[in-house]
Protein backbone atom coordinates (compact mmCIF):
# COMPACT_ATOMS: atom_id res chain seq x y z
CA UNK A 1 0.00 0.00 0.00
CA UNK A 2 1.09 3.57 -0.61
CA UNK A 3 3.36 5.06 2.06
CA UNK A 4 1.48 8.36 2.08
CA UNK A 5 -2.07 9.50 1.33
CA UNK A 6 -2.78 9.74 -2.38
CA UNK A 7 -5.73 10.96 -4.35
CA UNK A 8 -6.82 11.41 -7.93
CA UNK A 9 -5.45 14.64 -9.43
CA UNK A 10 -8.89 16.12 -10.03
CA UNK A 11 -10.68 14.97 -6.92
CA UNK A 12 -10.81 16.20 -3.35
CA UNK A 13 -12.16 12.99 -1.86
CA UNK A 14 -14.18 9.89 -2.63
CA UNK A 15 -14.78 6.32 -1.46
CA UNK A 16 -11.37 5.23 -2.81
CA UNK A 17 -9.36 8.26 -1.67
CA UNK A 18 -5.98 7.10 -0.39
CA UNK A 19 -5.72 4.10 -2.72
CA UNK A 20 -3.02 4.00 -5.39
CA UNK A 21 -3.65 2.34 -8.77
CA UNK A 22 -0.86 1.61 -11.25
CA UNK A 23 -2.50 1.41 -14.66
CA UNK A 24 -0.44 -0.62 -17.14
CA UNK A 25 -3.36 -1.04 -19.52
CA UNK A 26 -4.08 0.57 -22.87
CA UNK A 27 -6.88 0.86 -25.42
CA UNK A 28 -10.23 0.65 -23.61
CA UNK A 29 -11.02 -2.30 -21.31
CA UNK A 30 -8.33 -1.62 -18.70
CA UNK A 31 -8.41 2.17 -19.00
CA UNK A 32 -12.18 2.14 -18.50
CA UNK A 33 -11.78 0.08 -15.32
CA UNK A 34 -9.05 2.36 -13.95
CA UNK A 35 -11.07 5.47 -14.85
CA UNK A 36 -13.94 4.12 -12.76
CA UNK A 37 -11.53 3.83 -9.83
CA UNK A 38 -10.19 7.34 -10.46
CA UNK A 39 -13.74 8.72 -10.50
CA UNK A 40 -14.14 7.24 -7.02
CA UNK A 41 -11.11 9.10 -5.71
CA UNK A 42 -8.25 6.64 -6.22
CA UNK A 43 -4.96 8.02 -7.47
CA UNK A 44 -4.40 6.38 -10.86
CA UNK A 45 -0.93 6.56 -12.40
CA UNK A 46 -1.08 5.60 -16.05
CA UNK A 47 2.16 4.02 -17.30
CA UNK A 48 2.69 4.56 -21.03
CA UNK A 49 5.42 3.76 -23.52
CA UNK A 50 7.59 6.82 -24.24
CA UNK A 51 7.31 6.73 -28.03
CA UNK A 52 3.57 7.05 -28.63
CA UNK A 53 1.81 6.34 -25.37
CA UNK A 54 -1.49 4.51 -25.17
CA UNK A 55 -2.59 3.15 -28.55
CA UNK A 56 -5.74 5.27 -28.41
CA UNK A 57 -3.74 8.49 -28.57
CA UNK A 58 -3.46 7.69 -32.28
CA UNK A 59 -7.01 6.47 -32.86
CA UNK A 60 -8.96 8.90 -35.02
CA UNK A 61 -10.26 10.98 -36.56
CA UNK A 62 -11.68 12.88 -34.90
CA UNK A 63 -8.65 14.66 -33.52
CA UNK A 64 -8.95 18.08 -31.89
CA UNK A 65 -6.52 20.82 -30.98
CA UNK A 66 -3.51 22.28 -32.76
CA UNK A 67 -2.22 20.63 -35.93
CA UNK A 68 1.19 20.02 -34.36
CA UNK A 69 -0.28 18.42 -31.22
CA UNK A 70 -3.59 16.76 -32.14
CA UNK A 71 -5.54 15.08 -29.34
CA UNK A 72 -7.61 11.94 -29.90
CA UNK A 73 -11.19 12.16 -28.66
CA UNK A 74 -11.05 8.37 -28.22
CA UNK A 75 -8.28 8.74 -25.63
CA UNK A 76 -10.19 11.55 -23.93
CA UNK A 77 -13.15 9.23 -23.41
CA UNK A 78 -11.46 6.83 -20.99
CA UNK A 79 -8.64 8.58 -19.14
CA UNK A 80 -10.05 11.39 -17.00
CA UNK A 81 -8.72 11.88 -13.46
CA UNK A 82 -5.41 10.11 -14.17
CA UNK A 83 -1.74 10.98 -14.16
CA UNK A 84 0.64 9.91 -16.94
CA UNK A 85 4.24 8.74 -16.71
CA UNK A 86 6.20 7.42 -19.69
CA UNK A 87 8.38 4.38 -18.92
CA UNK A 88 10.38 2.12 -21.19
CA UNK A 89 9.79 -1.22 -19.50
CA UNK A 90 12.64 -2.78 -21.49
CA UNK A 91 15.10 -0.41 -19.78
CA UNK A 92 16.62 -0.76 -16.33
CA UNK A 93 15.31 2.69 -15.33
CA UNK A 94 11.78 1.99 -16.51
CA UNK A 95 11.61 -1.35 -14.73
CA UNK A 96 12.97 0.15 -11.51
CA UNK A 97 10.44 2.98 -11.48
CA UNK A 98 7.66 0.45 -12.08
CA UNK A 99 8.96 -1.71 -9.20
CA UNK A 100 8.93 1.36 -6.96
CA UNK A 101 5.33 2.09 -7.97
CA UNK A 102 4.20 -1.49 -7.45
CA UNK A 103 5.71 -1.58 -3.95
CA UNK A 104 3.49 1.39 -3.01
CA UNK A 105 0.36 0.44 -4.96
CA UNK A 106 -2.89 -1.07 -3.83
CA UNK A 107 -3.94 -2.10 -7.34
CA UNK A 108 -2.34 -2.89 -10.68
CA UNK A 109 -4.49 -2.97 -13.82
CA UNK A 110 -3.15 -4.66 -16.97
CA UNK A 111 -4.58 -6.00 -20.21
CA UNK A 112 -1.54 -7.43 -21.98
CA UNK A 113 -1.77 -10.70 -23.85
CA UNK A 114 -0.98 -13.66 -21.55
CA UNK A 115 2.75 -13.97 -20.92
CA UNK A 116 3.84 -10.46 -21.98
CA UNK A 117 4.29 -9.06 -18.46
CA UNK A 118 5.96 -12.30 -17.37
CA UNK A 119 8.64 -11.81 -20.01
CA UNK A 120 9.22 -8.24 -18.76
CA UNK A 121 9.78 -9.56 -15.23
CA UNK A 122 6.40 -8.55 -13.81
CA UNK A 123 4.48 -11.79 -13.50
CA UNK A 124 1.82 -11.87 -10.77
CA UNK A 125 4.23 -13.84 -8.58
CA UNK A 126 6.96 -11.24 -9.09
CA UNK A 127 4.59 -8.38 -8.30
CA UNK A 128 3.33 -10.12 -5.17
CA UNK A 129 6.91 -10.68 -4.07
CA UNK A 130 7.33 -6.90 -4.20
CA UNK A 131 3.97 -6.26 -2.54
CA UNK A 132 2.05 -9.20 -1.01
CA UNK A 133 -1.06 -7.01 -0.44
CA UNK A 134 -1.31 -6.01 -4.09
CA UNK A 135 -4.60 -6.62 -5.93
CA UNK A 136 -4.02 -7.23 -9.64
CA UNK A 137 -6.67 -6.95 -12.35
CA UNK A 138 -5.80 -8.82 -15.54
CA UNK A 139 -8.11 -8.44 -18.55
CA UNK A 140 -7.54 -10.59 -21.64
CA UNK A 141 -9.48 -11.20 -24.82
CA UNK A 142 -10.42 -14.89 -24.52
CA UNK A 143 -9.27 -15.70 -20.98
CA UNK A 144 -5.81 -16.29 -19.50
CA UNK A 145 -5.98 -20.07 -19.97
CA UNK A 146 -7.78 -22.56 -22.19
CA UNK A 147 -7.09 -23.66 -25.78
CA UNK A 148 -7.52 -20.19 -27.32
CA UNK A 149 -6.04 -18.00 -24.60
CA UNK A 150 -3.22 -16.75 -26.84
CA UNK A 151 -5.58 -15.11 -29.35
CA UNK A 152 -5.59 -11.32 -29.59
CA UNK A 153 -8.85 -9.89 -28.27
CA UNK A 154 -10.47 -6.96 -30.03
CA UNK A 155 -13.96 -5.78 -29.27
CA UNK A 156 -15.73 -6.46 -32.56
CA UNK A 157 -14.06 -9.86 -32.93
CA UNK A 158 -15.39 -10.80 -29.49
CA UNK A 159 -18.84 -9.40 -30.22
CA UNK A 160 -19.00 -11.94 -33.01
CA UNK A 161 -17.29 -14.82 -31.21
CA UNK A 162 -19.40 -14.42 -28.05
CA UNK A 163 -22.69 -14.46 -29.98
CA UNK A 164 -23.69 -10.85 -29.42
CA UNK A 165 -23.75 -9.98 -33.11
CA UNK A 166 -26.06 -12.93 -33.81
CA UNK A 167 -28.60 -11.24 -31.50
CA UNK A 168 -28.16 -7.74 -32.93
CA UNK A 169 -29.43 -6.45 -36.26
CA UNK A 170 -32.59 -6.32 -38.33
CA UNK A 171 -32.75 -10.09 -38.71
CA UNK A 172 -30.75 -13.34 -38.67
CA UNK A 173 -29.06 -12.48 -41.97
CA UNK A 174 -28.00 -9.02 -40.77
CA UNK A 175 -25.56 -9.43 -37.84
CA UNK A 176 -24.52 -6.04 -36.45
CA UNK A 177 -22.07 -4.88 -33.81
CA UNK A 178 -23.25 -2.73 -30.93
CA UNK A 179 -22.50 0.95 -31.58
CA UNK A 180 -19.96 1.23 -28.75
CA UNK A 181 -17.11 -1.19 -27.83
CA UNK A 182 -19.38 -3.04 -25.45
CA UNK A 183 -17.03 -5.99 -24.80
CA UNK A 184 -14.26 -3.63 -23.72
CA UNK A 185 -16.58 -1.54 -21.57
CA UNK A 186 -18.24 -4.50 -19.86
CA UNK A 187 -14.96 -6.28 -19.14
CA UNK A 188 -13.70 -3.04 -17.59
CA UNK A 189 -16.82 -2.75 -15.46
CA UNK A 190 -16.66 -6.40 -14.35
CA UNK A 191 -12.96 -5.89 -13.63
CA UNK A 192 -13.59 -2.85 -11.43
CA UNK A 193 -16.31 -4.77 -9.60
CA UNK A 194 -13.92 -7.68 -8.99
CA UNK A 195 -11.20 -5.34 -7.77
CA UNK A 196 -13.46 -3.80 -5.16
CA UNK A 197 -14.46 -7.26 -3.92
CA UNK A 198 -10.80 -8.24 -3.67
CA UNK A 199 -10.01 -5.05 -1.74
CA UNK A 200 -12.78 -5.90 0.73
CA UNK A 201 -11.34 -9.37 1.20
CA UNK A 202 -7.88 -7.86 1.70
CA UNK A 203 -9.28 -5.82 4.57
CA UNK A 204 -10.02 -9.15 6.31
CA UNK A 205 -6.96 -11.16 5.29
CA UNK A 206 -4.24 -8.64 4.49
CA UNK A 207 -3.48 -10.62 1.35
CA UNK A 208 -3.65 -9.50 -2.25
CA UNK A 209 -4.81 -11.62 -5.16
CA UNK A 210 -5.26 -11.67 -8.93
CA UNK A 211 -8.67 -10.84 -10.42
CA UNK A 212 -9.08 -12.14 -13.97
CA UNK A 213 -11.77 -11.44 -16.53
CA UNK A 214 -11.93 -11.26 -20.31
CA UNK A 215 -13.90 -9.72 -23.14
CA UNK A 216 -15.32 -13.19 -23.82
CA UNK A 217 -16.40 -13.68 -20.20
CA UNK A 218 -17.96 -10.22 -20.01
CA UNK A 219 -20.15 -10.78 -23.07
CA UNK A 220 -21.21 -14.29 -22.07
CA UNK A 221 -21.94 -12.81 -18.64
CA UNK A 222 -24.57 -10.48 -20.10
CA UNK A 223 -26.39 -12.96 -22.32
CA UNK A 224 -29.14 -12.79 -19.68
CA UNK A 225 -32.48 -14.27 -20.83
CA UNK A 226 -31.06 -14.95 -24.29
CA UNK A 227 -28.56 -17.31 -22.68
CA UNK A 228 -31.19 -19.31 -20.81
CA UNK A 229 -33.28 -19.51 -23.97
CA UNK A 230 -30.35 -21.45 -25.40
CA UNK A 231 -29.20 -23.46 -22.37
CA UNK A 232 -32.58 -24.28 -20.84
CA UNK A 233 -35.24 -23.97 -23.56
CA UNK A 234 -33.00 -25.28 -26.32
CA UNK A 235 -33.81 -22.37 -28.63
CA UNK A 236 -31.27 -20.57 -30.79
CA UNK A 237 -31.96 -16.83 -30.36
CA UNK A 238 -31.69 -14.70 -33.48
CA UNK A 239 -31.61 -11.00 -34.23
CA UNK A 240 -35.05 -9.53 -34.83
CA UNK A 241 -34.48 -5.82 -35.02
CA UNK A 242 -35.94 -3.28 -32.64
CA UNK A 243 -38.53 -5.48 -30.96
CA UNK A 244 -38.19 -7.57 -27.82
CA UNK A 245 -38.14 -11.34 -28.40
CA UNK A 246 -40.19 -12.17 -25.29
CA UNK A 247 -42.45 -9.16 -24.67
CA UNK A 248 -44.99 -7.53 -26.98
CA UNK A 249 -45.57 -4.78 -27.75
CA UNK A 250 -42.08 -3.62 -26.84
CA UNK A 251 -40.01 -1.77 -29.42
CA UNK A 252 -39.77 0.97 -32.00
CA UNK A 253 -42.66 2.21 -34.15
CA UNK A 254 -42.81 4.96 -36.73
CA UNK A 255 -45.23 7.86 -36.79
CA UNK A 256 -45.80 10.70 -39.28
CA UNK A 257 -42.61 12.63 -38.57
CA UNK A 258 -40.33 10.19 -36.80
CA UNK A 259 -40.40 7.26 -34.43
CA UNK A 260 -41.19 6.39 -30.82
CA UNK A 261 -40.51 3.44 -28.58
CA UNK A 262 -42.94 1.79 -26.20
CA UNK A 263 -42.55 -0.86 -23.51
CA UNK A 264 -45.68 -2.77 -22.47
CA UNK A 265 -44.44 -5.06 -19.72
CA UNK A 266 -47.66 -6.08 -17.96
CA UNK A 267 -51.23 -7.03 -18.76
CA UNK A 268 -52.47 -3.93 -16.94
CA UNK A 269 -50.35 -1.72 -19.17
CA UNK A 270 -51.56 -3.60 -22.23
CA UNK A 271 -55.20 -2.98 -21.33
CA UNK A 272 -54.50 0.72 -20.75
CA UNK A 273 -52.53 1.06 -23.98
CA UNK A 274 -55.11 -0.79 -26.05
CA UNK A 275 -57.93 1.36 -24.67
CA UNK A 276 -56.04 4.57 -25.40
CA UNK A 277 -55.49 3.65 -29.06
CA UNK A 278 -58.68 1.84 -29.95
CA UNK A 279 -57.33 -1.72 -29.90
CA UNK A 280 -59.25 -4.72 -28.57
CA UNK A 281 -57.20 -5.92 -25.58
CA UNK A 282 -59.28 -9.08 -25.18
CA UNK A 283 -58.94 -10.45 -28.72
CA UNK A 284 -57.75 -14.06 -28.54
CA UNK A 285 -54.69 -13.19 -30.63
CA UNK A 286 -53.67 -10.53 -28.09
CA UNK A 287 -55.16 -11.81 -24.83
CA UNK A 288 -51.83 -12.59 -23.12
CA UNK A 289 -48.23 -11.60 -23.61
CA UNK A 290 -47.47 -15.05 -25.04
CA UNK A 291 -50.32 -14.59 -27.55
CA UNK A 292 -49.03 -11.18 -28.52
CA UNK A 293 -45.50 -12.50 -29.02
CA UNK A 294 -46.81 -15.30 -31.24
CA UNK A 295 -48.86 -12.79 -33.26
CA UNK A 296 -46.29 -10.02 -33.17
CA UNK A 297 -46.49 -9.08 -36.86
CA UNK A 298 -50.26 -8.68 -36.70
CA UNK A 299 -50.00 -6.61 -33.53
CA UNK A 300 -47.23 -4.42 -34.95
CA UNK A 301 -49.36 -3.69 -38.01
CA UNK A 302 -52.33 -2.54 -35.93
CA UNK A 303 -50.17 -0.36 -33.68
CA UNK A 304 -48.40 1.08 -36.71
CA UNK A 305 -51.77 2.04 -38.21
CA UNK A 306 -52.77 3.77 -34.98
CA UNK A 307 -49.47 5.61 -34.59
CA UNK A 308 -49.42 6.67 -38.24
CA UNK A 309 -52.09 9.29 -37.48
CA UNK A 310 -49.77 11.15 -35.06
CA UNK A 311 -46.67 13.31 -35.13
CA UNK A 312 -44.07 12.24 -32.58
CA UNK A 313 -44.56 15.03 -30.03
CA UNK A 314 -48.33 14.65 -29.56
CA UNK A 315 -47.99 10.86 -29.67
CA UNK A 316 -45.47 10.91 -26.84
CA UNK A 317 -47.70 13.30 -24.92
CA UNK A 318 -50.68 10.94 -25.33
CA UNK A 319 -48.59 7.94 -24.25
CA UNK A 320 -47.30 9.85 -21.22
CA UNK A 321 -50.79 10.94 -20.19
CA UNK A 322 -51.89 7.29 -20.29
CA UNK A 323 -48.92 6.20 -18.17
CA UNK A 324 -47.34 4.15 -20.96
CA UNK A 325 -43.52 3.89 -20.81
CA UNK A 326 -42.36 5.56 -24.02
CA UNK A 327 -39.56 7.62 -25.45
CA UNK A 328 -37.93 8.95 -28.57
CA UNK A 329 -34.61 8.08 -30.18
CA UNK A 330 -32.19 10.91 -29.51
CA UNK A 331 -28.96 11.81 -31.25
CA UNK A 332 -25.95 12.19 -28.97
CA UNK A 333 -26.12 15.95 -29.56
CA UNK A 334 -29.65 15.91 -28.17
CA UNK A 335 -28.59 13.71 -25.25
CA UNK A 336 -25.87 16.13 -24.12
CA UNK A 337 -28.28 19.07 -24.35
CA UNK A 338 -31.05 17.27 -22.41
CA UNK A 339 -31.78 18.89 -19.06
CA UNK A 340 -32.31 15.49 -17.43
CA UNK A 341 -28.81 14.38 -18.41
CA UNK A 342 -27.36 17.66 -17.14
CA UNK A 343 -29.24 17.31 -13.86
CA UNK A 344 -27.50 13.97 -13.22
CA UNK A 345 -23.98 15.34 -13.60
CA UNK A 346 -23.43 13.35 -16.78
CA UNK A 347 -21.58 16.15 -18.54
CA UNK A 348 -18.50 17.61 -16.87
CA UNK A 349 -16.15 20.47 -17.75
CA UNK A 350 -12.38 20.03 -17.34
CA UNK A 351 -9.30 22.08 -18.22
CA UNK A 352 -7.03 20.24 -20.63
CA UNK A 353 -3.39 21.27 -20.85
CA UNK A 354 -3.57 21.54 -24.67
CA UNK A 355 -7.25 22.03 -25.47
CA UNK A 356 -8.31 24.33 -22.63
CA UNK A 357 -11.81 23.82 -21.28
CA UNK A 358 -13.59 20.82 -22.76
CA UNK A 359 -16.75 18.91 -21.88
CA UNK A 360 -16.67 15.16 -21.28
CA UNK A 361 -19.31 12.55 -20.50
CA UNK A 362 -19.30 12.28 -16.73
CA UNK A 363 -19.23 9.48 -14.12
CA UNK A 364 -22.47 7.49 -13.79
CA UNK A 365 -22.42 7.14 -9.97
CA UNK A 366 -23.66 9.57 -7.32
CA UNK A 367 -23.29 9.32 -3.54
CA UNK A 368 -25.51 10.63 -0.73
CA UNK A 369 -25.35 10.79 3.03
CA UNK A 370 -27.35 8.19 4.99
CA UNK A 371 -29.49 10.53 7.07
CA UNK A 372 -29.75 13.99 5.55
CA UNK A 373 -29.54 12.85 1.90
CA UNK A 374 -26.78 15.42 1.42
CA UNK A 375 -25.00 14.69 -1.84
CA UNK A 376 -21.41 13.57 -1.37
CA UNK A 377 -20.56 13.12 -5.03
CA UNK A 378 -17.26 14.64 -6.08
CA UNK A 379 -17.78 17.23 -8.79
CA UNK A 380 -14.15 18.24 -9.38
CA UNK A 381 -12.40 16.35 -12.16
CA UNK A 382 -9.09 16.45 -14.02
CA UNK A 383 -8.74 16.27 -17.78
CA UNK A 384 -7.11 13.23 -19.38
CA UNK A 385 -3.34 13.75 -19.28
CA UNK A 386 -0.99 14.36 -22.17
CA UNK A 387 1.81 11.83 -22.47
CA UNK A 388 4.19 11.93 -19.47
CA UNK A 389 2.43 15.02 -18.10
CA UNK A 390 3.13 13.96 -14.51
CA UNK A 391 6.38 12.06 -15.00
CA UNK A 392 8.60 14.48 -13.11
CA UNK A 393 6.17 14.83 -10.19
CA UNK A 394 5.76 11.08 -9.87
CA UNK A 395 9.53 10.48 -9.89
CA UNK A 396 9.96 13.23 -7.29
CA UNK A 397 7.26 11.69 -5.10
CA UNK A 398 8.94 8.29 -5.34
CA UNK A 399 12.30 9.81 -4.40
CA UNK A 400 10.85 11.50 -1.32
CA UNK A 401 9.07 8.28 -0.38
CA UNK A 402 12.32 6.30 -0.68
CA UNK A 403 14.18 8.82 1.50
CA UNK A 404 11.61 8.40 4.28
CA UNK A 405 11.52 4.61 4.12
* 195-232 pLDDT per residue, tens: 999 999 999 999 999 999 999 999 999 999 999 999 99
Of the candidates 77, 131, 132, the one whose C-alpha atom is nearest the C-alpha of residue 100 is 131
Question: Using one digit for the tens of pLDDT, what is the confidence trace for 251-273?
Answer: 999 999 999 999 999 999 999 99
pLDDT given for residue 10 in this prediction: 55
Confidence of residue 370 (pLDDT cuts 50, 70, 90): confident
Write the CATH number of the domain with boundaries 250-327: 3.30.1540.10
**Span 187-201, average pLDDT:** 98
pLDDT given for residue 11 in this prediction: 54
SS (H, E, C) the chain: CCCCCCCCCCCCCCCCCCCEEEECCCCCHHHHHHHHHHHCCCEEEEEECCCCCCHHHHCCCCEECCCCCCEEHHHHCCCCCEEEEECCCCCHHHHHHHHHHHHHCCEEEECCCCCHHHHCCCCHHHHHHHCCCCEEEEEECCCCCCCCCCCCCCHHHHHHHCCCHHHCCCCCCCCCCCCCCHHHHHHHHHHHHHHHHHHHHHHHHCCCEEEEEEHHHHHHHCCHHHHHHHHCCCCCCCCCCCECCCCCCEEEEEECCEEEEEECCCHHHHHHHHHHCCCCCCCHHHCCHHHHHHCHHHHHHHHHHHHCCCCHHHHHHHHHHCCCCEECCCCHHHHHHCHHHHHCCCEEEEEECCCEEEEEECCCCCCECCCCCCECCCCCCCCCCCCCCCHHHHHHHHHHHHHHC
pLDDT given for residue 1 in this prediction: 46
pLDDT given for residue 372 in this prediction: 74
**Span 44-55, average pLDDT:** 96
Question: Using one digit for the tens of pLDDT, what is the confidence trace for 127-158?
Answer: 999 999 999 999 999 999 999 999 999 999 99
**Superfamily classification of domain 20-222+349-404:** Crotonobetainyl-coa:carnitine coa-transferase; domain 1 (3.40.50.10540)
Fold agreement between 20-222+349-404 and 250-327: no
pLDDT given for residue 8 in this prediction: 55
**Predicted TM-score (pTM) above 0.85:** yes
**Span 72-81, average pLDDT:** 97
Catalytic residue among 54, 100, 106, 184: 184
Active site residue 184: yes
Percent of the chain with pLDDT over 90: 92
The answer to whether residue 2 scores a pLDDT higher than 50 is no
pLDDT given for residue 9 in this prediction: 62
Confidence of residue 4 (pLDDT cuts 50, 70, 90): very low
**Span 18-40, average pLDDT:** 97
The answer to whether residue 289 scores a pLDDT higher than 60 is yes
**Domain assignments of the chain as residue spans, ordered by start:** 20-222+349-404, 250-327
pLDDT given for residue 3 in this prediction: 42
Question: Using one digit for the tens of pLDDT, what is the confidence trace for 156-168?
Answer: 999 999 999 999 9
**Span 364-380, average pLDDT:** 88
Percent of the chain with pLDDT over 70: 97
Average per-residue pLDDT in the chain?
A: 94
pLDDT given for residue 371 in this prediction: 77
Amino acid sequence: MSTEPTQAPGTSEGPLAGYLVVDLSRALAGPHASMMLADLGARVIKVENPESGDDTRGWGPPFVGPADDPQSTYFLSCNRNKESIALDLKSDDGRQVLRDLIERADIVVENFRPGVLDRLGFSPAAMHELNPALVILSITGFGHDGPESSRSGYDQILQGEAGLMSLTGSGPDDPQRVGVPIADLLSGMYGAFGLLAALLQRERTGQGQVVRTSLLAALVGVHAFQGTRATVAGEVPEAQGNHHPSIAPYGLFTCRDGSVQISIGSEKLWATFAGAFGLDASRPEFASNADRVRNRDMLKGEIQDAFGRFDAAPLLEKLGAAGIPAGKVRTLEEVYEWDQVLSQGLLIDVDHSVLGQISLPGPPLRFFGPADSRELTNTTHAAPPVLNQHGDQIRSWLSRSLERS
